[in-house]
Structure 1
Amino acid sequence: MKIYLFSLTIFISVTCFCQENKLIEIRSCFKSIEGANEIKELISLSKNSLDHPVILAYYFTGKLMMLDYSNNPFEKYKIFKTKTKQIDSIINTNKKNIEVRLLRYVLQKNSPYFLKYNSDLRNDINYIKSNLYKENENLQSYIETLLIQFNNERSSNPS
């Protein structure tokens, strides 16, 4: 029995460590996205760990970002509706996850106004700002960097 518990503990520890490393790699990829190749890499990195809510949110975010490179407006709209509902669903089951809220905030901020996917913008940014201090330093730094990077891109690229 002791050996079983010890083995189970090691397995869980290794799994958590691997997922944390995967998340670090995914964050790095997301932060460096400049085009379709980086988005495809994000999707590829995240598709094998879809049982983790944050990684799943990155996967859906990548799928939504790829819509910029699609030509069929009907297919784009269908995928947009499906993936945004899936991200909202992740948030509904993980309301306090600041990173998933950050991803939704970025998506809503970048979504065309006529799609009306912007109802949680204010709530998400307020939640992020008021709860960022609760996160570890690495995640705080990552989120702050993304928000600065994102706001600089938005101000230099009027849509």
Structure 2
Amino acid sequence: MKNVVFFLLLSLNLQAQNCSELPKIRAIFQAGVNEEQLEDMLLLCKKSTCDKTTPYHAAATMKKAEFVWSPISKLSNFNKGKKMLENFIDKNNKNIEARYIRWLTQKMAPSFLNYNSSIDKDYAFIIQNIDESNIEKSYQKTILNHLKKIQNE
């Protein structure tokens, strides 16, 4: 009976962590998005049961600030996404993709937002640990190329 319960719980967990949308979310994120693509990305992230999409959901929420008119809405969207990303990183400090997204967001955020405290440590962490991560080699290469490009701007 214990084995049946174990396998039932295992299969439910595997179903709950279906990350099949992750490559599509990554592709949208890497492409840089217009408002319509951003809404598509947000919808994919909201429907996903995969924890790996949470940093992308946070980034899309922050990016939404670019497409709203009201300064209050801009700041609200940015802060909501920032909080989501920081909470995720607090719980998953070794997550390369989350640290990459935070690094990129901090590099691109306007200085008046004062969201730049982790740039150097995130960059160093990513460079030192990406080879040992469980991220596909092709996406590791994408991340590293993007880091180099943005770092040199």
- In the superposition, the TM-score normalised over structure 2's length comes to 0.84
Name the CA distance, whole Å, in 2 between partners of 1:147 and 1:35: 24
- Answer yes or no: is 1:69 the counterpart of 2:64: no
Worse overlay, 94-103 or 78-87? 78-87
Checking the alignment, whether the CA contact within 8 Å between 2:16 and 2:49 is kept in structure 1 is no
| 1:137 to 1:48, Cα distance in 2 relative to 1, 3 A | closer
- In the superposition, the TM-score normalised over structure 1's length comes to 0.81
Name the CA distance, whole Å, in 2 between partners of 1:137 and 1:26: 14
User: Which residue does 1:124 correspond to in 2?
Assistant: 122
* Residue 67 (structure 1) shift: 1.2
User: Which residue does 1:13 correspond to in 2?
Assistant: 14
The Cα RMSD (Å) is 2.4
Per-residue deviation, residues 6-29 of structure 1 (Å, max 9, x unmatched):
33333333433x2x2122232122
| 1:83 to 1:49, Cα distance in 2 relative to 1, 3 A | same
User: Which residue does 1:113 correspond to in 2?
Assistant: 111
Name the CA distance, whole Å, in 2 between partners of 1:25 and 1:59: 13
Name the CA distance, whole Å, in 2 between partners of 1:137 and 1:90: 17
Name the CA distance, whole Å, in 2 between partners of 1:74 and 1:9: 44
Checking the alignment, whether the CA contact within 8 Å between 1:32 and 1:38 is kept in structure 2 is no
| Residue type of the alignment partner of 1:60 | A
Unaligned residue ranges in structure 1 (runs of 5+): none
Checking the alignment, whether the CA contact within 8 Å between 1:60 and 1:86 is kept in structure 2 is yes
* Residue 104 (structure 1) shift: 0.6
Per-residue deviation, residues 58-80 of structure 1 (Å, max 9, x unmatched):
11111111211111112212222
Name the CA distance, whole Å, in 1 between partners of 2:114 and 2:13: 41
Per-residue deviation, residues 31-65 of structure 1 (Å, max 9, x unmatched):
2333222211111100023672x312211111111
* Residue 112 (structure 1) shift: 0.4
Q: SS of the counterpart of 2:47?
A: coil
Written as runs of structure 1 = structure 2, the 5 A alignment for 1:132-147 is: 132-136=130-134, 138=136, 140-147=137-144
